[in-house]
Structure 1
Amino acid sequence: MAETWTFDDATEPLTADAVVGELRARIAGERYESWLTSSSGRLLAVVTNAERAMVMLLDHEGDPGEHATDPAAEGSSGGFVLSNGQDDEYPDQDTVPLPLALQIVRHIVAHGTPPADAAWTTDR
Protein backbone atom coordinates (compact mmCIF):
# COMPACT_ATOMS: atom_id res chain seq x y z
CA MET A 1 0.00 0.00 0.00
CA ALA A 2 1.33 3.44 -0.93
CA GLU A 3 2.15 5.94 1.78
CA THR A 4 -0.49 8.67 2.16
CA TRP A 5 -0.17 12.13 3.70
CA THR A 6 -2.53 14.37 5.70
CA PHE A 7 -2.12 17.80 7.23
CA ASP A 8 -1.87 17.79 11.01
CA ASP A 9 -5.29 19.43 11.31
CA ALA A 10 -7.08 17.22 8.75
CA THR A 11 -8.10 13.59 8.43
CA GLU A 12 -8.31 12.98 4.69
CA PRO A 13 -5.21 11.93 2.74
CA LEU A 14 -4.35 14.28 -0.11
CA THR A 15 -2.71 13.89 -3.49
CA ALA A 16 0.63 15.59 -4.09
CA ASP A 17 -1.03 18.34 -6.12
CA ALA A 18 -3.68 18.90 -3.45
CA VAL A 19 -0.96 19.22 -0.78
CA VAL A 20 0.80 21.89 -2.82
CA GLY A 21 -2.50 23.70 -3.43
CA GLU A 22 -3.27 23.64 0.29
CA LEU A 23 0.21 24.93 1.13
CA ARG A 24 -0.28 27.83 -1.29
CA ALA A 25 -3.66 28.63 0.30
CA ARG A 26 -2.17 28.52 3.80
CA ILE A 27 0.68 30.82 2.81
CA ALA A 28 -1.77 33.24 1.14
CA GLY A 29 -3.67 33.22 4.45
CA GLU A 30 -0.43 34.03 6.32
CA ARG A 31 -0.15 30.59 7.83
CA TYR A 32 3.56 29.96 7.44
CA GLU A 33 4.09 26.67 9.30
CA SER A 34 2.50 23.42 8.12
CA TRP A 35 3.01 19.82 9.19
CA LEU A 36 1.95 16.69 7.35
CA THR A 37 1.92 13.15 8.73
CA SER A 38 2.24 10.07 6.58
CA SER A 39 0.41 6.79 7.00
CA SER A 40 3.78 5.29 8.04
CA GLY A 41 4.28 7.89 10.79
CA ARG A 42 6.77 10.14 9.00
CA LEU A 43 6.46 13.91 9.35
CA LEU A 44 6.97 16.59 6.71
CA ALA A 45 7.29 20.19 7.83
CA VAL A 46 7.23 23.34 5.73
CA VAL A 47 8.07 26.66 7.37
CA THR A 48 8.18 29.65 5.05
CA ASN A 49 8.43 33.41 4.94
CA ALA A 50 6.62 33.32 1.54
CA GLU A 51 9.96 33.69 -0.31
CA ARG A 52 12.08 30.85 1.06
CA ALA A 53 11.12 27.70 2.95
CA MET A 54 12.60 25.21 5.36
CA VAL A 55 11.46 21.74 4.25
CA MET A 56 12.12 19.01 6.84
CA LEU A 57 11.44 15.28 6.67
CA LEU A 58 11.44 13.29 9.91
CA ASP A 59 11.08 9.53 10.32
CA HIS A 60 9.06 10.02 13.54
CA GLU A 61 8.38 12.60 16.24
CA GLY A 62 11.64 13.51 17.96
CA ASP A 63 13.78 12.49 14.98
CA PRO A 64 16.34 15.20 14.05
CA GLY A 65 15.45 14.38 10.45
CA GLU A 66 16.82 15.87 7.28
CA HIS A 67 16.13 19.02 5.29
CA ALA A 68 16.37 20.63 1.87
CA THR A 69 19.35 22.94 1.36
CA ASP A 70 20.62 25.57 -1.03
CA PRO A 71 24.44 25.19 -0.80
CA ALA A 72 25.17 28.20 -3.03
CA ALA A 73 22.97 30.61 -1.06
CA GLU A 74 24.51 33.33 1.06
CA GLY A 75 23.17 35.28 4.01
CA SER A 76 20.11 34.56 6.06
CA SER A 77 16.43 35.35 5.97
CA GLY A 78 13.97 36.14 8.71
CA GLY A 79 10.22 36.22 8.92
CA PHE A 80 9.70 32.49 9.43
CA VAL A 81 6.75 32.78 11.81
CA LEU A 82 5.92 29.56 13.63
CA SER A 83 2.42 28.63 14.75
CA ASN A 84 3.33 29.52 18.36
CA GLY A 85 4.18 33.08 17.27
CA GLN A 86 7.96 32.61 17.38
CA ASP A 87 9.71 34.53 14.58
CA ASP A 88 12.78 32.63 13.33
CA GLU A 89 15.70 33.45 11.06
CA TYR A 90 17.55 30.73 9.12
CA PRO A 91 20.72 30.71 7.05
CA ASP A 92 19.68 30.76 3.39
CA GLN A 93 21.77 27.61 2.87
CA ASP A 94 19.27 25.77 5.12
CA THR A 95 16.25 26.96 3.15
CA VAL A 96 15.22 26.88 -0.50
CA PRO A 97 13.21 29.29 -2.68
CA LEU A 98 9.49 28.69 -2.19
CA PRO A 99 8.81 27.38 -5.74
CA LEU A 100 11.54 24.75 -5.27
CA ALA A 101 10.19 23.89 -1.81
CA LEU A 102 6.76 23.19 -3.32
CA GLN A 103 8.35 20.96 -5.99
CA ILE A 104 10.23 19.06 -3.28
CA VAL A 105 7.07 18.60 -1.19
CA ARG A 106 5.13 17.44 -4.25
CA HIS A 107 7.82 14.83 -4.99
CA ILE A 108 8.00 13.57 -1.39
CA VAL A 109 4.23 13.17 -1.18
CA ALA A 110 4.06 11.47 -4.58
CA HIS A 111 7.16 9.26 -4.32
CA GLY A 112 8.18 9.10 -0.65
CA THR A 113 11.60 10.66 -1.18
CA PRO A 114 13.03 14.04 -2.12
CA PRO A 115 13.86 14.49 -5.81
CA ALA A 116 17.27 13.10 -6.73
CA ASP A 117 18.47 16.53 -7.85
CA ALA A 118 17.47 18.32 -4.62
CA ALA A 119 20.31 19.26 -2.27
CA TRP A 120 19.60 17.55 1.03
CA THR A 121 21.26 17.40 4.45
CA THR A 122 20.78 14.71 7.08
CA ASP A 123 20.63 16.10 10.63
CA ARG A 124 20.75 12.71 12.37
Structure 2
Amino acid sequence: MTNTERAMVMLLEEEGDPGEHAVDPEAEGSSDGFLLCNGQHDEYPDEDTVPIGEAFRLVKHIVSTGSWPADACWVVDR
Protein backbone atom coordinates (compact mmCIF):
# COMPACT_ATOMS: atom_id res chain seq x y z
CA MET A 1 0.00 0.00 0.00
CA THR A 2 1.43 3.41 -0.91
CA ASN A 3 0.76 7.11 -0.79
CA THR A 4 3.22 7.53 -3.74
CA GLU A 5 6.05 8.71 -1.45
CA ARG A 6 6.16 5.93 1.13
CA ALA A 7 4.80 2.38 1.16
CA MET A 8 3.79 -0.24 3.67
CA VAL A 9 5.35 -3.51 2.53
CA MET A 10 3.92 -6.62 4.17
CA LEU A 11 4.71 -10.31 3.79
CA LEU A 12 1.82 -12.61 4.76
CA GLU A 13 1.78 -16.40 4.93
CA GLU A 14 -1.97 -16.71 4.34
CA GLU A 15 -5.22 -14.76 4.53
CA GLY A 16 -5.76 -13.44 8.05
CA ASP A 17 -2.05 -13.69 8.94
CA PRO A 18 -0.83 -10.53 10.74
CA GLY A 19 2.42 -11.11 8.88
CA GLU A 20 5.61 -9.09 8.85
CA HIS A 21 6.25 -5.57 7.59
CA ALA A 22 9.19 -3.46 6.47
CA VAL A 23 10.27 -0.66 8.80
CA ASP A 24 12.39 2.47 8.61
CA PRO A 25 13.66 2.67 12.23
CA GLU A 26 15.30 6.08 11.79
CA ALA A 27 12.24 7.76 10.24
CA GLU A 28 10.35 10.37 12.22
CA GLY A 29 6.84 11.69 11.88
CA SER A 30 3.94 10.18 10.00
CA SER A 31 2.45 10.24 6.52
CA ASP A 32 -1.15 10.17 5.36
CA GLY A 33 -2.79 9.49 2.04
CA PHE A 34 -2.78 5.70 2.22
CA LEU A 35 -6.02 4.66 0.48
CA LEU A 36 -7.42 1.27 1.44
CA CYS A 37 -9.56 -0.82 -0.91
CA ASN A 38 -12.66 0.01 1.16
CA GLY A 39 -12.12 3.74 0.52
CA GLN A 40 -10.71 4.49 3.96
CA HIS A 41 -7.78 6.94 4.11
CA ASP A 42 -5.11 6.02 6.67
CA GLU A 43 -2.08 7.66 8.25
CA TYR A 44 0.92 5.63 9.46
CA PRO A 45 4.06 6.40 11.43
CA ASP A 46 6.94 6.78 8.95
CA GLU A 47 8.88 4.16 10.91
CA ASP A 48 6.24 1.59 9.81
CA THR A 49 6.64 2.48 6.11
CA VAL A 50 9.59 2.81 3.74
CA PRO A 51 10.44 5.24 0.92
CA ILE A 52 8.85 4.14 -2.36
CA GLY A 53 12.20 3.27 -4.01
CA GLU A 54 13.07 0.96 -1.11
CA ALA A 55 9.60 -0.58 -1.33
CA PHE A 56 10.14 -1.48 -5.00
CA ARG A 57 13.52 -3.05 -4.14
CA LEU A 58 12.01 -5.09 -1.30
CA VAL A 59 9.03 -6.30 -3.33
CA LYS A 60 11.22 -7.27 -6.29
CA HIS A 61 13.40 -9.38 -3.98
CA ILE A 62 10.44 -10.93 -2.15
CA VAL A 63 8.73 -11.86 -5.44
CA SER A 64 11.89 -13.47 -6.81
CA THR A 65 12.99 -15.29 -3.63
CA GLY A 66 9.98 -15.50 -1.30
CA SER A 67 11.81 -13.79 1.55
CA TRP A 68 13.18 -10.46 2.74
CA PRO A 69 16.56 -9.26 1.49
CA ALA A 70 19.32 -9.86 4.06
CA ASP A 71 19.78 -6.11 4.58
CA ALA A 72 16.07 -5.31 5.02
CA CYS A 73 14.68 -3.93 8.27
CA TRP A 74 11.40 -5.61 9.17
CA VAL A 75 9.34 -6.70 12.15
CA VAL A 76 7.15 -9.72 12.80
CA ASP A 77 3.57 -8.79 13.73
CA ARG A 78 2.47 -12.33 14.64
Task: Please give the range of the TM-score, normalised by the shorter of the 2 chains.
Answer: over 0.9
Deviations 1:7-55 (A, max 9, x none): xxxxxxxxxxxxxxxxxxxxxxxxxxxxxxxxxxxxxxxx000000000
For the residue of structure 2 that corresponds to 1:48, the secondary structure is coil
Kindly report which structure 2 residues correspond to 1:1-124, keeping only aligned pairs within 5 A, or say none: 47-124=1-78
Runs of 4+ more than 2 Å apart: none
For the residue of structure 2 that corresponds to 1:61, the secondary structure is coil
Which residue identity does 2:23 align to in structure 1? Answer: T
Which residue identity does 1:52 align to in structure 2? Answer: R
TM-score between the two structures when normalised by the length of structure 1:
0.62
Aligned length: 78
TM-score between the two structures when normalised by the length of structure 2:
0.98
**1:83 shift after superposition:** 1.5
Q: Percent identity?
A: 68
**1:123 shift after superposition:** 0.2
Unaligned runs of 5+ in 1: 1-46
Instruction: State the alpha-carbon separation in 1 of the partners of residues 18 and 37 from structure 2.
Output: 19
The structure showing larger relative contact order (alpha-carbon pairs under 8 Å, at least 6 residues apart) is 2
